[in-house]
Structure 1
Amino acid sequence: MATWLVLHNEHSDYGDIIGEIYEFPIGIPNSKQIKIGDTLVFCLTKKSSESNKRILGFGQIIQLEPRPPMANDKHKRERFAAYLTDYRKFNPLLSFDDIGGDPRTNYTNSISRVNIDFSEFGNEPFNPIPNDDFNEKQQYARIIRRGQFQFREELLKAYDYKCAVSGHGPINVLEACHILPHSKSGINQLDNGILLRSDLHNLFDDGYLRIQPSTYIIEVDSTLSETPYYKFNGEKLRARGDGKQPNNEYLQKRNKL
């Protein structure tokens, strides 16, 4: 298995999540060589790092998920999202000096193969339990939700990569929403899912956004009448590409929770 040092720009439009996902376009150097089982080492770009301590941590690829081109990519390149497991972050972060110098042969490549065993350096397991920091809580929620890889992939395709409520993405904020909680029902089928934008997913989970089982009309709680979300009140839930809607019995049970 290979080890790849990948550059992460915190201000890019890619849907990277440190410790969980790395997105890259097909066609850039080394992009077609990345395989399941390989190790990815996250490294901040110079522009997004405040110091020379740029090497964040590493994890093993457990899945490669194809994704459509980004809207602003003039080359219209297909992408892949590499999902990671067993991520270990460096504490403190490492500089290239800490590992004996920059191991890359081409500094301009976003993906570079390196011959270093990063497990030899001090590291600690990634701890997904959030503290009181809002940003960490948000990342934790995304980690949990994005864990259902196959379920999300099927919903993305079924809804043509568009939110069932708002009608758009972008893809990196679209989440697989279970109508009946998976932890209780164990149902991971399309009929128990809706593709929702992350903020709308939160509203659905908290009961501020409901869907009528017989008509599939969206109901937004009146406490949100002065917010932009209220424009969805009275709209009909977008159907999947095959014209079908979620199971209305599941919706009925959900509305009783």
Structure 2
Amino acid sequence: MKYFYAYHGPKNTKDFDYSNGYGVGQEWKTRQVTPGDRLFVIQKLSGKRDFQLCGLFEIIDTFVDPNNAYPYRVQLKDLSTLDTFLPVDELLVGEQLPPSKRKEEWTNFKRHFCHQGASFEAPLCEEIVSVLSLLIAIPDYQMGTYARREDGLRMVKIRREQAKFRKVVMSNWGNKCAITGSTLAVEACHIISHANKGLPSVENGIALAADFHKLFDSDHLSFRDNRVILSESARLEPRYKDFHDTELRKPLKPVDLSVK
């Protein structure tokens, strides 16, 4: 049994409906699928800010619909039976995923799931399956060999550590962005990501406004000698240019910014 991923992206204005199946434009993608395989679907509709996990589906069969813009299709059965689609914290989930090898200047989450051709590109690795399945708490009997209990306990432990991490980091920075001093839309950010073995400790955390957090994750923001370093492209943006080479605010307890 293999696990695949499909994206219901911004070209769509309506929620994903599994009863219509899912289609792609390239036949080779459905040829690698067999009945009984599984499919995670994530959506981000036109005009919407957030991603949503639509669930886990069993692939019942493949078929061709020549009248559809995406003719090579899979028939689906809903395994997760969610009452509503689940909002996805792009940054938090991205930190739990293995680092993507793609080069787009995006978050790790988007590099995995939002590039052109991501749907049915290849079977998902076990680590990605574990992260996505824990988001919807798929029962063991539906997960086959991937649902090892030790993996589940590990992910629960990670979630608890992340909640504690957010609390202590925000407190250490006075619930204000380390760069702007603003209290609006501030997030706790790992200096070294979880995927790169960073610890959920106060020394490894910095509070950043959400847009600066995204700049940090996409390598447009770094720190040197306790000062803000922005990439050349970030400095061209009016919102950011005046923050380049400014000094960071001081936290209650020191943090280690030497890696960034």
Whether TM exceeds 0.5 here: the answer is: no
TM-score bracket for the superposition, by shorter chain length: 0.3 to 0.5
* TM-score, normalised relative to structure 2: 0.41
* TM-score, normalised relative to structure 1: 0.41
Which has a greater percent of strand?
A: 1
Which has a greater percent of helix?
A: 2
